[in-house]
Structure 1
Amino acid sequence: MLKDITEVSHQENYLLYIKFEDGKDGIVDISQLIEFTAIFARLQDINYFKTVKLNPEWGTIYWENGADLDPDVLYSIVTNEPIPNQLSR
Structure 2
Amino acid sequence: MIKIIHATYRGNYQIDLTFSDGQHGILDGKALLQRQGPLLEPLRDETYFQRFFLDAGALCWPNGLELSPATLYQKTVTPRTLATT
Which interval holds the TM-score relative to the shorter structure?
Answer: 0.7 to 0.9
Matches within 5 A, 1:8-87: 8-34=7-33, 35-55=35-55, 58-80=56-78
Gaps of 5+ in 2: 80-85
| Cα displacement (A) at 1:80 | 4.0
Gaps of 5+ in 1: 82-89
The CA distance in 1 between the partners of 2:29 and 2:36, in whole Å, is 10
Contact kept, 8 Å, 2:16 with 2:25, in 1: the verdict is yes
Contact kept, 8 Å, 2:25 with 2:73, in 1: the verdict is no
The CA distance in 1 between the partners of 2:54 and 2:62, in whole Å, is 11
Say how many residue pairs are matched. 78
Name 1:84's counterpart in structure 2: none
**TM score, norm. by length of structure 2:** 0.81
The structure with more radius of gyration: 2
| Cα displacement (A) at 1:9 | 1.1
Contact kept, 8 Å, 1:5 with 1:21, in 2: the verdict is yes
- Identical columns (%): 29
Distance 1:36 1:8, change over 3 A: farther
Equivalent position amino acid for 1:73 in 2: T
Q: What's the Cα RMSD here? A: 1.5
Runs of 4+ more than 3 Å apart:
none
